Amino acid sequence: MGTYVQLGAVKTWYDEHGTGEPLVLMHGGLVDARFFAPNIDPLAERFHVFTPERRGHGHTPDVEGPITYQLMADDTIAFLETVVGEPADLVGHSDGGVVAMLVAIQRPELVKRLVLISSGFNKRGEAAPDVEWNVDLIFEFLGPSYGEVSPDGIDHFKVVATKVGEMAAKEPTLETSDVARVPHRTLVVAADDDIMTMSHLVELYHALPNGEFAVVPGTSHFLTQEKPALVNTIVLDFLTNDPVPTVAPIRRAPKGQGGD
């Protein structure tokens, strides 16, 4: 059923599933925790899954002022400190992955491992940078779902979409030097036809000190719904198994033995 917790100015809604080590699922922009419907149960078989919804998304009401990645990272840090209370695995899709990266950089002690699904780190990586942010069209696609649960009502969707569009016009602005500050073991998961270019996602992978990389074939930005069984298998393999010793390491080879 979910519950609310007051975190500063934000009355954050979240739900919990399963038992075990904590895992926080972080949804993308303009959607909510329901986006992870095909993924929650398999994850909850092994983990205590938290599904917070960020300011202006899902059951969580909007607040005055802009929506930015940094504000959402601050909200997530407050959630981890107040509700989770111990280091957690963060699994973020799209905007949720950007927020997860910021949390990992700024508060690494709150994070165990990261899974970044279809998440870029800089606007220059957009595969279709000239696509117009048309709030009316976005409303037709996502507005009805928003109206089903938002305490602000369906008419407020365009306000939130405008705020997210203003953020998306300028952010994210991380550089590889910022990504290199993520110390955690991190899995980058991408569709082979994603909203970020493949070269950008490879750049993200290479910048991570402890990165791993998976591409889900025949999918788009909605890969968690298009091939949920494959995505769940990849994510669970990463989260439940230690890295294996590889036979012919190149990128991971020890210094002086073929490594960078």
In the chain, which residue ranges form alpha helices assigned H by DSSP? 37-44, 69-79, 95-106, 135-149, 157-168, 176-179, 198-207, 223-226, 228-240
Within-domain flag for 255: no
pLDDT value, residue 252:
87
pLDDT value, residue 259:
47
Within-domain flag for 235: yes
pLDDT value, residue 135:
97
Within-domain flag for 142: yes
pLDDT digits (tens, 9 = 90+) for 91-101: 999 999 999 99
Please list the ranges in the chain whose pLDDT falls under 50.
259-260
Q: What is the CATH number of the domain that holds 70?
A: 3.40.50.1820
pLDDT value, residue 257:
61
Indicate the number of domains in the chain.
Answer: 1
pLDDT value, residue 20:
97
pLDDT value, residue 256:
63
pLDDT digits (tens, 9 = 90+) for 166-225: 999 999 999 999 999 999 999 999 999 999 999 999 999 999 999 999 999 999 999 999
State the residue range of the domain holding 225. Answer: 3-240
Q: DSSP for 48-73?
A: EEE--B-TTSTTSPP-SS---HHHHH
pTM: 0.96
Tokens coding 238: 């990463």
Nearest CA among 141, 131, 104, 101 for reference residue 119: 101
Within-domain flag for 185: yes
Angle CA(107)–CA(108)–CA(110) in degrees, nearest 5? 75
- Residue 87's SS3 state is coil
Within-domain flag for 100: yes
Within-domain flag for 251: no
Q: CA-CA distance, 160 to 166, in Å (whole number)?
A: 10
Is the alpha carbon torsion for 137, 141, 142, 145 positive or negative? positive
Within-domain flag for 121: yes
Within-domain flag for 34: yes
